[in-house]
Amino acid sequence: MGKSSNTTLIVLAFFSIYVIWGSTYMLNKLAVMEIPPFMLASYRFTAAGLLIFALAKLMGISISISKKQLLNTTIAGFLFLSFGNGVVVWALKFVDSGFAALEISAQPLVILLMMWMLQGKKIKPMSMVGVVLGIIGIYLLISQKQVITKENSVLGIVMIFLCMLSWGYGSLFVGKADLPSNYFVNTGYQMFTGGIILALMSLGFNEDWSSPLVWSEEVQLSVVLLIIFGSIVAFTSFNYLLKSVSPEKVATSTYVNPIVALFLGWYFLGEQITIQSVIAAVVLLTGVYFINTKKTLTIFERFKK
């Protein structure tokens, strides 16, 4: 492959993880205003998993895995997607999409603290500065009156935090678990099993299931974009970048996604951006920068959207 075409692919891949991942918050918010959250997430991940299996077959990749790997991909699928993503979609009923993206940008902080508490890993001085800034940023974000006075907004904030714990534990789990060596197959099983668990969660919460044919065109388009671009294109781009550029460059998506989400939420959904939110974003993302400095990407990154 020539150097110019290689550069073009890298630019397109960065656009994918910056803009597509950043837009998933707005797309989920748009859809969840009309259809139930767990049903929405179930459709998204089950369909994406099946599409990945079909693509793997076309590419001649074997999708056979051991019972142990099936169990582990199911656990990871639950931690990352069924709970970690499905409950965020549910929480979007009560909080703005840009707000949710900003809260989730503190994920590296949560993982760092979990590694310290569960694995006894020491926190380096630079990372400690990041932890302090991250906590201040989160406080500035969630202490706003216009945020916490909205109905059920505090419940939404708490549930998103629990999702971050689920992601954090999931990233520590997959770091040691026996999983399929092919990342495409690994993702396919996690998305498919995560989607099936979400369907069970949806039935458990008595959500009203409906055919995609009766949804509005806006919601149909949102879900198609989430399946094809949010789940498959962005993930493939992410893995391509991990092999083509340094992890620190790939980690820049952590800072760009919430900015994209804030802008899209403001532009398309009329969400308010306050001065305090902007200050909170700067403080929080500076903290995340200190935590990420000279650190490789944690595994959770590839599943977080």
> What DSSP assignment string belongs to 246-303?
-HHHHTTHHHHHHHHHHHHHHHHH-----HHHHHHHHHHHHHHHHHHTT-PPPGGGGG
Q: How many residues does the chain have?
A: 305
> Who's near 13: CB < 8 A, 6+ residues apart?
237, 238, 240, 241, 244
- pTM score of the predicted model: 0.89
Q: Classify 105 as helix, strand or coil.
A: coil
- Cα 123 to its chain centre, rounded Å, is 25
Distance of CA 115 to CAs 67, 108, 286, 300, Å?
Answer: 28, 11, 21, 13
pLDDT band at 238 (very low <50, low <70, confident <90, very high): confident
Taking alpha carbons only, the member of 178, 189, 182, 179 closest to residue 52 is 189
Q: Are 305 and 24 in contact (CB under 8 A)?
A: yes
Least confident window among 81-95, 120-134, 246-260: 246-260
pLDDT band at 291 (very low <50, low <70, confident <90, very high): confident
Measured between alpha carbons, how far is 115 from 286 in angstroms, rounded to an integer?
21
Taking alpha carbons only, the member of 194, 228, 207 closest to residue 41 is 194
Measured between alpha carbons, how far is 54 from 85 in angstroms, rounded to an integer?
23
Measured between alpha carbons, how far is 220 from 43 in angstroms, rounded to an integer?
11
Please give the average per-residue pLDDT across 282-286, as a whole number.
94
